[in-house]
Structure 1
Amino acid sequence: MKTTLTALVLALGATAAFAGPSCTVPQEKWMKEADFKTMVEKQGYQIKTFKVSKGQCYEIYGFDKAGKKVEIYFDPATGAELQRK
């Protein structure tokens, strides 16, 4: 029983560690996706995948100016970077 409980706690902790930020801005206040993508590309990012995360933030997978892989979450209203993995 103790082993099962320990495994459950570790599994839940690992899931939380990989979760992105949560955005609570009402959708009507979000930047248009096209405007957001243009802004990010002007900053030197190359977007391979764009999506709205489970936490309702804009999320990109791609490359930065130096060609390094990035996964970044952004505030959908302001375009501010919230978290980088």
Structure 2
Amino acid sequence: MKPIALAASWLLALSSGSALASTPSEKVVCTDQPRSQWMSEQQARILFQASRYMLVKFKVSKGRCHEFYAVEHDGTVVEAYLHPVTGKTMRITRVPLQPGAVKP
């Protein structure tokens, strides 16, 4: 599998709820504040430093957080939750490249 395709498949697997992503018992809840008070996706991407990653997927989580899935240049997969009002990192998880996997 080509490196970029491998990284893309990891992002897809993470965002679809695979074992590497958060389980429902680990749900991160950020805020009850209305979306009119939230920072924009662009502002959240800047705080997350999205430009330093090879691939980045953004979504709003069920816990009302800015949620990012990203792949670093060494193949490490990152899942991060940012508070949509304060920008504070609520949780970040890194999953290193699996042994024997092709580096992106």
After TM superposition, is the score higher than 0.5? Answer: yes
Q: Which residue of 1 aligns with 2:87?
A: 79
Structure with max Cα Rg: 1
TM-score normalised by length of structure 2? 0.53
- Indicate the percent of aligned positions where both proteins have the same amino acid: 31
Q: Which residue of 2 aligns with 1:60?
A: 68
Distance 2:75 2:69 in 1: 12
Shift in Å, 1:69 = 1.2
* Greater RCO structure (CA 8 Å; 6+ sep): 2
| Native 8 Å contact 2:54 2:70 kept in 1 | yes
Shift in Å, 1:63 = 3.3
Cα displacement string for residues 12-70 of structure 1 (whole angstroms, at most 9, x for unaligned residues): xxx54242334222211100111211232278455521000001110000035865211
Structure 1 segments of 4 or more deviating over 4 A?
64-67
* Alignment gaps of 5+ in structure 1: 1-14
Aligned residues between the structures? 71
Alpha-carbon RMSD:
2.5
Q: Which protein has the bigger helix share?
A: 1
